[in-house]
Structure 1
Amino acid sequence: MKSRQQICVLPGDGVGIEVTEAVLPIFEALRLPIDLKFGQIGWDCWRKYGDPVPAQTWEIISSCDATLLGAVTSKPLREAEEELRFSLRGSRLSYVSPVIQLRQKLELFANVRPITDILGDKRYQFTVIRENTEGLYAGLDFDSIPAEFEPVLARHEQNGAVWKRQGSKDATMSVRLQTRDGLIRLFRFAFDYAQRQGFKRVTLADKPNVLRHSGAFARDILETVAADYPDISAQIENVDAVALWMVRRPERFGVIVAENMFGDILSDLGAGVMGGLGLAPSANIGLKGAYFEPVHGSAPKYTGQDRVNPCAMFLTVALLLEHLGHHSSADAIRCAVTHVARSECRTSDLDGTASTSEMASAIVRQTVAQAEHLL
């Protein structure tokens, strides 16, 4: 471990900025050998420069050990074009979400979403690991049928397909792409994570009874990888059944692994099981680095009101610190968040009256107390 580590901090947009500022005192309070380097990202960068991730930000990211990202704003194509500064409009700039840019450029293939019993209603602890770069979000989304796909569709139509269309412009399509290498690295990551965290079960959430060929492809690879982890059981379950049991019996899961879209849905459902997006952290880990972000949005309507729950960002910092090797500090933050979230110092989403800054200050104080206790 280097004498001092570098963290790139990108506060983001809207309440992302407020929550980040409220949580950053935790680094000084824990007296960690960490330096913070700040960069720009998000909607203001898009409006000014035509890119939500400027070149200077990439330089800062590449110079740091990990990145802490606040919530960012994304809007549809038309709105994105309308909000560019006048001199950039009509220049054929294409808005690409900064989150997608980070995941693709840094090859951050694994999105890690721990689901824990923060509020104490039930006893459960499991993690959803979502594939970040392939699946239905691989970018193969078309506003009409590409010519290359016409022969494939024509064969299905000749064989009695139920869909009706008048030509290539009368339909759209998205392709679910899963590669062997992509699935191998995802499944190995899931089993390695389960091994480190003490989970005894890995569940692939898919839809093999409908997506028969791609489902069978994933199943064969899962079984091959699972053979290297004899102490961890591996199952394949339909994604809709997984969603049901996440709500009814979350304690039955260890690691749930899924392709991009299924994982996207299940991980947000997991946040609902926990008590809301204000409690949900995430890590994005890959071959060339890692970034960490709370999964709540930038919530423009709440900007400046000092009312957004900071717990997700604190738990995100805990994931970051754990990734960098500061395990006791990460544990102290998690204990503090649980303690404060069950106290009277709670934000409105947890049926309390505390402000963002009040709850954040309480968590910082409790973290310091927990850290001293763990020494």
Structure 2
Amino acid sequence: MDIAVLPGDGIGPEVVEAALPVIGKVGLDWNLQFGDVGWPFWLSDGDPVPDATWKLLERTDSCLLGAITSKPAREAESELPFALQGLDRKFISPVIQLRQRLGLYANVRPVADIHEGRFNFAVIRENTEGLYAGFDYHGLSNPLWELVKDHPNAAQSGADNSSVTLRLQTRAGIDRLLRFGFEYAVSQHHQLLTLADKPNVLRSSSNFLRSRLEIMAEEYPGIETEILNVDAVALWMVRRPERFGVIVAENMFGDILSDLGAGVMGGLGLASSANLGDHGSYFEPVHGSAPGMAKQSKANPLAMILTISQLADHLGNAEEAERIRKAVRTVVRDGTALTYDLGGRSTTREAANAVLAVL
């Protein structure tokens, strides 16, 4: 298998460097090809994803992404070299570019109890529509103003001082996400699929979701289904995480729940993720680039190591993937080689070497 490796920036390169030896240690025959992505390339060229990286992704089977820095539009442009300012360069996060260009509509975030094994479920977040679809407006044109003008706050503020964000949900997007969720539940031997939304408030769009869920559930009689308010799901993820199997949610709700899931399992330093579509994929830890921590050897490499195990599972190397996960569990439970975020004093390299030693 040919795997693109994009170390990124911030702590990305150091966690990637520490984690990659795991691949050879478990005998995975992957051909690693390295490419560039991230903030330095925005600063030098005004594009955080160089053309050469897109060509690399075209000729490889999947991708491991380290971490990348993303900043709001105003700050991003202000840090460009003077020669690139005023040229209408718009910073678009590389992860958004990858998801859109490669059609990666499903974000899969495993949530497992590494310490005691009490729970093991996944949050599957829709990546392409919902409240993150990009229909976000301030200063409303007439069609949007007609929709909201009778709201008392809008009437008081006027069109120029009102904002609207549209939640896009389509049959095509919903159906492919739900089917992905059901198939994932079958593959992981889960018997419950929970659709997290807000049916008591977002009545029309949530009812549409529910109707599609009911139709598709008929194809999977062995999977129980439910649709719950997203706030209730958040509560039960904390109090009774063992009740869940697969949680499916639209983009923003899934974003929030998946980070909550990382907290439930012990922190972002243990959280891996997959971004999957019908014809492409990339895998990344979800802890972010943390540029203030870069080159201090403090970053936790376990999320990157678990990301490698998730990629191995995706590519059909289930035995090797489970060996990696067991090694991480052993290191965490032993507690003698943990980085600061897990209450230890070990360096990035020391924590990774502890996993290698177990393997």
SS at match of 2:24: helix
AA partner of residue 350 (structure 1): L
Aligned residue among 112, 116, 120 for 1:116? 112
Equivalent residues of 1:165, 1:171 under 8 A apart:
no
2:17 maps to a residue whose letter is E
Matches within 5 A, 1:257-296: 257-296=248-287
Deviation at 1:163, TM superposition (A): 4.1
Secondary structure of the 2:122 match is strand
In structure 1, distance between residues paired with 2:139 and 2:271: 36
SS of equivalent residue, structure 2 residue 132: coil
Structure-1 residue corresponding to 2:166: 175
The separation in 1 between residues aligned to 2:84 and 2:68, in whole angstroms, is 21
Say whether residues 1:346 and 2:338 are aligned partners: yes
Give the structure 2 partner of residue 371 of structure 1: none
Shift of 1:148: 2.7
Q: Does 1:135 align with 2:130?
A: yes
Q: 1:355 aligns with which of 338, 343, 347?
A: 347
Q: State the Cα distance separating 1:138 from its structure 2 match.
A: 0.4
What is the SS of the residue equivalent to 1:28? Answer: helix
Counterpart Cα distance in 2 of 1:163 and 1:203: 35
SS at match of 2:221: coil
Opposite residue 97 of structure 1, the aligned amino acid is: S
In structure 2, C-alpha distance between the alignment counterparts of 1:227 and 1:200, rounded to whole Å? 14
Equivalent residue runs for 1:1-375 within 5 Å:
5-120=1-116, 123-154=118-149, 157=150, 161=152, 163-343=154-334, 344-367=336-359
CA positional deviation for 1:37: 0.5
| Structure-1 separation of matches of 2:299 and 2:327 | 18
Aligned 8 A contact 1:106 1:287 in 2? no
Gaps of 5+ in 1: 368-375
One-letter amino acid of the structure 1 residue matched with residue 311 of structure 2: L
Q: Give me the whole-angstrom Cα distance separating, in 1, the residues matched to 2:234 and 2:27.
A: 41
Pairs aligned (count): 358
Q: Shift of the alpha carbon at 1:8?
A: 0.3
Separation in structure 2 between the aligned mates of residue 193 and residue 76 of structure 1, nearest angstrom: 34
Amino acid in the other structure paired with 1:129: I
| Alpha-carbon offset, residue 144 of structure 1 | 2.0
The structural deviation recorded for 1:353 is: 1.3
Q: Deviations over 1:264-286 (max 9, x none)?
A: 00000000000100000000000
Bigger Cα displacement from structure 2, 271-280 vs 345-354: 345-354
Give structure 2 stretches of 5+ with no counterpart: none
Q: Distance in 2 between matches of 1:305 and 1:166?
A: 49
SS at match of 2:71: coil
1:372 paired residue number: none
Equivalent in the alignment of 1:370: none
RMSD: 1.1
Report SS of the residue matched to 2:108.
strand
Could you say what secondary structure the match of 1:329 adopts?
helix
Counterparts of 1:54 and 1:144, CA distance in 2: 34
The one-letter amino acid of 2:3's match is: I
Q: Distance in 2 between matches of 1:40 and 1:301?
A: 20
Percent identity between the two aligned chains: 55
TM-score for the superposition, normalised by structure 2:
0.98
Question: Structure 1, residues 123-170: CA drift from partner, whole Å, max 9, x if none?
Answer: 01110000000000001111222333122223xx0xx64544443211
1:6–1:65: 8 Å Cα contact kept in structure 2?
Answer: yes
Q: What secondary structure is seen at the aligned counterpart in 1 of 2:91?
A: coil
Worse-matched range after superposition: 343-352 or 328-337: 343-352
Query: 2:298–2:347: 8 Å Cα contact kept in structure 1?
Result: yes
